[in-house]
């Protein structure tokens, strides 16, 4: 499989893609060192479609209870999604897009709680009053 860099247009093999941070984060073009990401075009559509297939299979099997519906839909949804992802990669393979950095994340509840409970010592001297 080969990719085209969105920055320089250089075509290279998938093995040449630089990934210094592992599978998460940005990858780099071997020619221009531009930050790129691998984009799978049909992932969301395949996930939603396979979930509908899983629900329809359970409907055909006449599952009536809610816990069986939940567990059965998860057990059926995973292999159907994997199969449809593999099938969709034959028709529309992955492409490279420019890396878009995520906005800074918000503090979690526990970070807020920790900062809220820190002991803050009062000021020993008033900054406004100066000793004369």
**Does 5 or 130 have the greater pLDDT score?**
5
Q: In which element (H, E) is residue 64 found?
A: none
* pLDDT higher than threshold 60 for residue 97: yes
Domain regions of the chain by residue span: 1-40+94-121
10 Å Cβ neighbour count for 53?
A: 17
Q: Which residues contact 5 (CB under 8 A, 6 or more apart)?
A: 11, 12, 29, 31, 32, 34, 36, 96
Q: pLDDT tens for residues 100-110?
A: 887 888 888 88
Q: pLDDT tens for residues 50-67?
A: 999 999 999 999 998 999
Q: pLDDT tens for residues 71-88?
A: 999 999 999 999 998 898
Q: What percent of the chain has pLDDT over 70?
A: 85
Q: Is 11 exposed, middle or buried (0-12, 13-18, 19+ CB in 10 A)?
A: exposed
């Amino acid at each position: 499989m080969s990719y085209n860099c969105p920055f320089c247009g250089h075509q290279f093999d998938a093995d040449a893609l630089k990934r210094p941070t592992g599978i998460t984060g940005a990858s780099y073009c071997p020619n221009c060192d531009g930050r790129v990401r691998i984009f799978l075009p049909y992932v969301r559509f395949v996930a939603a479609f396979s979930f509908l297939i899983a629900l329809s299979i359970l409907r055909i099997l006449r599952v009536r209870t809610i816990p069986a519906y939940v567990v059965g839909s998860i057990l059926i949804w995973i292999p159907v999604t994997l199969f449809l992802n593999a099938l969709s990669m034959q028709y529309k393979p992955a492409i490279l897009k420019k890396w878009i950095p995520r906005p800074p994340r918000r503090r979690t509840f526990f970070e807020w709680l920790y900062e809220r409970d820190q002991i803050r010592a009062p000021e020993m001297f008033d900054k406004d009053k100066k000793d004369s």
